[in-house]
Amino acid sequence: MCRLLGVVAATPISIADAVGEAVLKDFVALTKIHGDGWGVACADQVGAVPHVEVSAGTALGDPEFDVATHELRSAAAVVHLRWATNGLAVEPQNSHPFLADGLAMAHNGSIKPMALLDDLLEPAFAAELRGTTDSERYFALIRQYRRGATNLAEAVRRAVAALRQIYPDASLNALILGEDQLIVVHAHARSRLLDEDIEEISATDLPQEHLEDYFSLRIARPADGVIVVGSTGFGDLGWAPVPPESVTAISMRDLTIEQLPLMAH
């Protein structure tokens, strides 16, 4: 499991300036649990292809993370803090966001059994996998659906809908950056933390909402021309809920928001 943070801004801005230093500090404090790697994806401006920096270490105290969140200015960004699923290695190729075909993606959840997900991938996409995570396979499936969809949001919706049929209880929450937009997948169904995960969180001083609503995603407008999307457990930005079982597209061009229900009618 992981924590997600996304930013879209009318003019390039650092992640720290977009959310505020106190909120970013709250977010980084989540490394008490989510310390198995970090990653930042940025699209510098409209028309730019995202670039990604990842690490298998903790974000707390990492000067490279500080540079990525304080000095880099971008029109859109995704930040990911990893809490590795049991059995999956803590190594750079398993750190999110993943990058391929001009898209970057970070996922919060667990998709098991993974073999069913492998069965959905065409050989060309399976051959491009670098790590061992279900999340990277999820990303490959989205790119596979992109070939036949009219736009990125619809490709994501179709991929998530296909997974929901096979994995009715899985958290498919994700942020996808590319094609001049940030796509927000809020689809965690009936996902719940395992007892051992609850015990681990309870042993820290992290906010109680971490336990009460771990898989929810929220959206806020902390300033004119800035939209922020985030997991629970950090920061007071006047959050509003993202609709459940939905795909939301936030345009980097004009910050307009389009929301699609997961199951199209």
Kind of pairing between the strands at 181-186 and 246-251: antiparallel
Q: For 33-42, how does the pLDDT look when each residue is reduced to its tens digit (9 = 90+)?
A: 888 999 999 9
Q: For 157-216, how does the pLDDT look when each residue is reduced to its tens digit (9 = 90+)?
A: 999 999 999 999 999 999 999 999 999 999 998 766 555 555 666 666 666 555 557 889
143-162 mean pLDDT = 97
Q: For residue 226, what is the domain's CATH number? A: 3.60.20.10
Report the number of distinct structural domains present in the chain: 1
Q: What angle do CA 78, 84, 86 make, to 5 degrees?
A: 155
- What's the pLDDT score for residue 79? 98
- What's the pLDDT score for residue 78? 98
- What's the pLDDT score for residue 34? 86
- Partners of 228 in beta bridges: 7, 220
pTM: 0.93
Output phi, psi for 103, to 5 deg.
-125, 150
Rg of the chain taking only CA atoms, in angstroms: 17
- What is the domain range of residue 256? 2-261
219-224 mean pLDDT = 97
Burial 162-179 (b: 16+ CB within 10 A, else e): ebbeebeebbbbbbbbbb
User: What percent of the chain is modeled with pLDDT above 90?
Assistant: 80
- What's the pLDDT score for residue 89? 80
